[in-house]
């Protein structure tokens, strides 16, 4: 699908022909042909737009979708106008592929006109633009053509830059042009994809100016006139063409020696065309320029009775596009719309917005128009804006709600109830929900500069603390101030002590202190009749007690779930539903845990709660991983990590879970990198709680990678951290079995038994059946290391059965693998009594179970052990798969692609698994062939088979 962006060209013009730019045009075209992006830059009128159009026409054949926008100075204060140009005609096609909150945010941006700041440009909208480009790219290559970047409204520029920096190998190319003087293009280059080629356009020679004028039909002109045109224009093709146009259309030519008439700007040319409109047609176009999606129906509703005839007059003058799709009216160029709007007197613009405030069908759009039609404070207008904000909140668009809330505050009289600052604080809280921490913090700090009411000050401080995220140590100085502001008010103190509970956990790493502060916050909230804070505090207390293995945890969970409930708390990632999920999953109730977290994920997506969505995706991935659905877990973990990175929220926690999923079902090297990334995040934030989880993930990945010594180092540190944190429940991190197994592999069965015995005491006390089974599996390895092979086999057979009944598919497969590796040794034992025990064939069951889980790294280990035979069936360091030995000289990405080829994956399947383009897969395979000295993917499979049989 191609979205046209039409320009009204002069007669006989052919913009696809580039004059005087052959070399740079070839260079840019080659860059686009390689899949890269291009940034054209140079002074105003130098021909960037012409080259841009020619390149777009040349390259558009290779793109399934072409998105275009072209900004102007007069429109730069109108937020999301470029966004509307880009996505206005494709939104209906892709809206189904967007999460509900993102779809709502994008639709709201495309249907509104408002402030000149980024206050409406929230996290949901950023993610929506990124998701929209990815959805289009999933259907085929996308080319984004953006002219005059320097005039892009700030919101659209931020969104495009945000997406460009995160597209990676997604087949989206950008072809842009920007006005610069000298070399001032670095800022725009930094907001472009990493592979962007910057191309500077300089002035044309006199010969080239002559050819340009001749090509555009401005003939005959004398050589002296052409020389004057070249000199006056300075070789600038736009100025030269406009001078030539003026001379061609003028009945008289300038006398020799007289200066040529030079147009001052493109805007002046546009306004000259507007002057040919009748007054009524101009008023109709002004209404269209103010509307979000102007249609004839909207114009009629706004009082323009003769809209058809007046828009036809505008189209005849080239002001409106004549090839528009759908009912919406489109200006031939956005400059025309902006010029109309900017040139209109303020009272006329207000009158237009007043008409649209009743004509628009969407209540949010009506509220915006009402705000733009009103000057000063007006309680009725403020109330309607507040209602629109509530509607946006209910639609799952908290970012839009924050923007409307700020407008409501602007129109709220100082002596109203609620007052302007109260509405600002509601907007700040909406921004927190949307993940716009910076906006929320700025609003709260602004309120604190003048607020004197303790409730408002404490509420503002809460926003500042919430905006800090996991980095609570950065706002340590806030707590004494907010305690002073809270005074002896139990409701306000409850808010403070709830945050102090988080500080105790995250900054101090003290679970006991965190639990105590949470319990105190719940008591204070109950006294202050603040049910929401009481529920949040009880939920936090329940989660802390669950992680600690505290005996009161079940009772606290029940208290947190008692009615009356608060809908926000019920679905918040730190709320009662989340606390219940933690209890369920740690109590081995996997089906109920899955149902609980799935329902919570659905609700937070509806509400646009981005941070909660990040965490609930991670929780669901964890549930699927424990259930043995490793492929599904990997997909969810990658989705959580991508969303976390796009949003800048919860990156460490999502990287930790993604590491576990990669080590189980994906790429072990990536698992190691992600675990280290998660640990780095925790170290930087001073978050001891997630540091232990990240190190546990690192230890597991190291164990899967065949480096038990490194796993022992990582997991010993986890043991020390959790001991200092006061975490006693072994179901929290489930690292004890991995540490014991790694210790056996490095020849430390005694320490392994100590780990098992210590963890078993707490697992028995808490009834953690799956943990007990995993500990028994580890103990079987200890017994085998001591020569008690038959006892080890009996224990492993029991463990496999127990884990299967509990639904822990991956752990069941690991038990079967350990059983298979021990059977050859037991068969060789004198105490075997001649009982026939299968040899290599005993790996079939482990392979079947790992295949069912789609646990590819483990499956490769089974293949390697089976191919090596009984001699290698030791529970020592796991050797890398023999089939992959030939790939040791390849880079990490090359090894991943080659390994998936060995598994029989197609190029498209490999691209989907690794989140890269098919073109990247093909290029990577070409390098693999060259390095291995082979010619095709079949040779990779043959090479693998040959290595297995040597």
Specify the pLDDT at position 835. Answer: 47
Question: Rounded distance, CA 872 to CA 875, Å?
Answer: 9
> 179: pLDDT confidence band, cut at 50, 70 and 90?
confident
pLDDT of amino acid 647 = 66
Per-position DSSP letters for 650-717, written without gaps between them:
SHHHHHHHHHHHHHHHS-HHHHHHHHHHHHHHHHHHT-HHHHHHHHHHHHHHHHHTT-HHHHHHHHHH
With 0-12 / 13-18 / 19 or more C-beta atoms within 10 angstroms meaning exposed / middle / buried, residue 301 is middle
Alpha-carbon gap, residue 347 to 202, rounded angstroms: 43
264: DSSP letter:
-
Residue 746 tokens read as 């490095």
CA 940 to chain centre: 35
Gap between the Cα atoms of 564 and 567, Å rounded: 10
Would you put residue 168 in left (φ > 0), alpha (ψ -120 to 50) or beta?
left
Structure tokens at 229: 């045109």
- pLDDT over 70 for what percent of the chain? 82
Residue 42 has pLDDT above 90, yes or no: no
Tokens of 101: 């909150």
pLDDT for 839 equals 40
| For residue 697, pLDDT beyond 80 | yes
pLDDT (0 to 100) of residue 913: 62
pLDDT in tens, 572-590: 888 888 888 988 998 899 9
Of 116 and 45, the structure prediction assigns the larger pLDDT to 45
Tens digits of per-residue pLDDT, 796-849? 999 999 999 999 999 999 999 999 988 765 555 554 444 444 443 478 899 999
pLDDT tens for 469-493 read 767 777 888 899 999 999 999 999 9
> In the beta sheet, which residues pair with residue 199?
40
State pLDDT tens for residues 249-286: 766 665 443 445 444 443 465 566 677 888 899 899 99
Least confident of 117-131, 358-372, 419-433, 877-891: 877-891
The percent of residues above 90 in pLDDT, for the chain, comes to 30
Compare 194 and 297 and report the one with higher pLDDT. Answer: 297
Distance of alpha carbon 252 from alpha carbon 611, whole angstroms: 68
Q: Which residues pair with 70 in a beta bridge?
A: 147
Question: Which tokens belong to 138?
Answer: 């999933």
Provide the β-strand partners of residue 173.
143
Residue 857 clears pLDDT 90, i.e. is over it = yes
User: By C-alpha distance, which of 682, 523, 498 is closest to 575?
Assistant: 498
Taking the complete model, does pTM exceed 0.75, yes or no?
A: no
Mean pLDDT, the chain, as a whole number? 81
Q: Please say if the pLDDT value at position 243 is more than 80.
A: no
> Which residue would you say has higher pLDDT here, 286 or 912?
286
Q: Which helix (H) or strand (E) holds 538?
A: helix 531-548
Q: Indicate if the pLDDT at residue 175 is higher than 80.
A: yes
Q: What is the Cα–Cα distance from 336 to 72, expressed in whole angstroms?
A: 9
Task: Give the span between the Cα atoms of 615 and 179, in whole angstroms.
Answer: 43
**CB distance 767 to 729 below 8 Å:** no
pLDDT digits (tens, 9 = 90+) for 824-838: 655 555 544 444 444
For residue 183, give the 3-state DSSP assignment. Answer: coil
Q: What is the pLDDT of residues 601-624, one digit of tens each?
A: 999 888 888 888 999 999 999 999
- Among the ranges given (7-11, 41-45, 195-199, 299-303), the one the predictor scored with the smallest mean pLDDT: 7-11
33-42, 100-109, 122-131, 681-690: the lowest-pLDDT one: 681-690
What is the DSSP annotation of 792-848? HHHHHHHHHHHHHHHT-HHHHHHHHHHHHHHHHHHHHSGGGTT-----GGGHHHHHH
Cis peptide before 220 (omega within 30 of 0): yes
Q: Which of 104-113, 725-734, 891-900, 918-927 ranks highest by mean pLDDT?
A: 725-734
Q: Which of 210-214, 645-649, 863-867, 938-942 has the weakest average pLDDT? A: 938-942
User: In 3-state terms, the chain is what percent helix, strand and coil (to 5)?
Assistant: 70, 5, 30
Rounded to whole angstroms, the Cα distance separating 420 from 405 reads: 9
């Amino acid at each position: 699908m191609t979205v046209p962006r039409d320009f009204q060209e002069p007669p006989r013009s052919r913009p696809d022909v580039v004059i005087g730019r052959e070399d740079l045009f070839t260079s840019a075209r080659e860059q686009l042909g390689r899949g890269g992006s291009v940034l054209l830059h140079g002074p105003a009128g130098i021909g960037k737009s012409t080259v841009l159009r020619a390149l777009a026409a040349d390259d558009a054949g290779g793109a399934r979708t072409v998105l275009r926008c072209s900004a102007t100075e007069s429109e730069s204060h109108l937020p999301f106008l470029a966004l509307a140009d880009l996505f206005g005609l494709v939104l209906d096609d892709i809206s189904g592929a967007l999460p509900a909150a993102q779809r709502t945010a994008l639709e709201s941006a495309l249907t509104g006109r408002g402030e000149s700041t980024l206050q409406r440009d929230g996290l949901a909208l950023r993610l929506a633009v990124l998701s929209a480009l990815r959805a289009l790219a999933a259907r085929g290559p996308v080319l984004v053509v953006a002219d005059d970047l320097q005039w892009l409204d700030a919101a659209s520029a931020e969104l495009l830059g945000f997406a460009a920096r995160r597209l990676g190998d997604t087949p989206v190319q950008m072809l842009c042009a920007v006005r610069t003087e000298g070399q001032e293009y670095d800022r725009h280059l930094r907001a472009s994809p990493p592979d962007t080629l910057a191309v500077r356009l300089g002035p044309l020679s006199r010969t080239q100016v002559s050819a340009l004028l001749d090509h555009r039909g401005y003939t005959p002109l004398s050589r002296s006139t052409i020389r004057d045109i070249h000199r006056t224009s300075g070789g600038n093709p736009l100025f030269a063409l406009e001078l030539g146009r003026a001379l061609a259309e003028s009945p008289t030519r300038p006398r020799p020696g007289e200066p040529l008439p030079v147009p001052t700007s493109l805007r002046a040319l546009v306004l000259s065309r507007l002057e040919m409109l009748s007054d009524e047609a101009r008023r109709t176009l002004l209404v269209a320029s103010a509307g979000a999606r102007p249609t004839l129906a909207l114009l009629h509703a706004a009082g323009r009775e003769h809209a058809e005839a007046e828009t036809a007059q505008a189209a005849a003058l080239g002001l409106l596009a004549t090839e528009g799709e759908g009912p919406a009216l489109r200006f031939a160029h956005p400059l025309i719309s902006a010029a109309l709007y900017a040139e209109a007197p303020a009272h006329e613009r207000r009158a237009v917005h007043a008409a649209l405030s009743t004509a628009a069908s969407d209540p949010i759009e009506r509220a915006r128009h009402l705000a733009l039609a009103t000057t000063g404070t007006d309680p009725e207008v403020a109330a309607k804006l507040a209602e629109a904000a509530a509607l946006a909140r209910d639609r799952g668009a908290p970012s839009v709600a924050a923007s409307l809330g700020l407008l409501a505050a602007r129109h709220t009289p100082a002596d109203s109830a609620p007052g302007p600052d109260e509405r600002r604080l509601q907007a700040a809280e909406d921004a927190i929900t949307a993940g716009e921490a910076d906006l929320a913090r700025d609003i709260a700090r602004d309120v604190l500069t003048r607020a004197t009411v303790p409730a408002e000050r404490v509420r503002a401080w809460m926003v500042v603390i919430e905006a800090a995220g996991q980095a609570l140590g950065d706002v340590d100085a806030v707590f004494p101030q907010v305690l002073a502001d809270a005074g002896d008010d139990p409701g306000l103190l409850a808010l403070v002590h709830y945050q102090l509970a988080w500080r105790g956990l995250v900054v101090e790493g003290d679970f006991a202190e965190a639990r105590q502060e949470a319990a105190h916050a719940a008591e204070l909230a109950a006294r202050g009749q603040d049910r929401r804070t009481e529920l949040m505090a009880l939920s936090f207390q329940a989660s802390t007690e669950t992680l600690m293995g505290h005996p009161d945890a079940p009772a606290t969970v029940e208290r947190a779930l008692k009615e009356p409930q608060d809908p926000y708390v019920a679905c918040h990632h730190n709320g009662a539903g989340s606390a219940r999920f933690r209890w369920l999953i740690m109590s081995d109730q996997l089906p109920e845990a899955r149902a609980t977290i799935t329902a919570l994920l659905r609700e937070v997506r509806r509400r646009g709660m981005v941070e909660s969505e990040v965490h609930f995706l991670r929780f669901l991935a964890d549930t699927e991983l424990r259930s043995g659905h490793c492929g599904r877990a990997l997909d969810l973990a990658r989705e959580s990590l991508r969303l976390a990175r796009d949003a800048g929220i919860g990156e460490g926690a999502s990287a930790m879970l993604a590491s576990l999923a990669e080590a189980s079902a994906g790429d072990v090297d990536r698992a190691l990198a992600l675990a280290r990334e998660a640990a780095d995040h925790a170290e930087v934030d001073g978050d001891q709680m997630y540091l232990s989880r990240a190190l546990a993930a690192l230890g597991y990945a190291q164990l899967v990678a065949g480096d038990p010594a490194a796993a022992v180092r990582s997991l010993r540190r986890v043991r020390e951290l959790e001991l200092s944190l006061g975490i006693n429940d072994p179901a929290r991190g489930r690292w004890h079995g991995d540490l014991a197994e790694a210790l056996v592999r490095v020849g430390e069965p005694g320490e392994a038994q100590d780990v098992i015995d210590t963890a078993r005491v707490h697992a028995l006390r808490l009834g953690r059946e799956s943990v007990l089974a995993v500990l028994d599996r580890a103990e079987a390895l200890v017994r085998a290391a001591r020569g008690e092979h038959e006892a080890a086999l009996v224990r492993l057979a029991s463990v496999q059965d127990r884990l299967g009944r509990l639904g822990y598919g991956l752990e069941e497969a690991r038990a079967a693998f350990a059983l298979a590796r021990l059977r050859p040794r037991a068969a060789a034992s004198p105490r075997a009594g001649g009982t026939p025990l299968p040899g290599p064939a005993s790996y079939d069951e482990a392979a079947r179970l790992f295949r069912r889980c789609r646990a590819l790294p483990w499956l490769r280990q089974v293949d390697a052990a089976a191919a090596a035979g009984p001699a290698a069936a030791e529970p020592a360091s796991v050797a890398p798969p023999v089939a992959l030995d030939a790939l040791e000289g390849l880079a990490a990405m090359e090894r991943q692609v080659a390994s998936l080829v060995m598994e029989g994956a197609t190029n498209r399947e490999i691209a989907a698994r690794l989140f890269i383009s098919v073109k990247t897969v093909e290029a990577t395979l070409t390098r693999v062939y060259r390095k291995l000295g082979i010619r095709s993917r079949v040779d990779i499979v043959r090479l693998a088979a040959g290595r297995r049989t040597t």
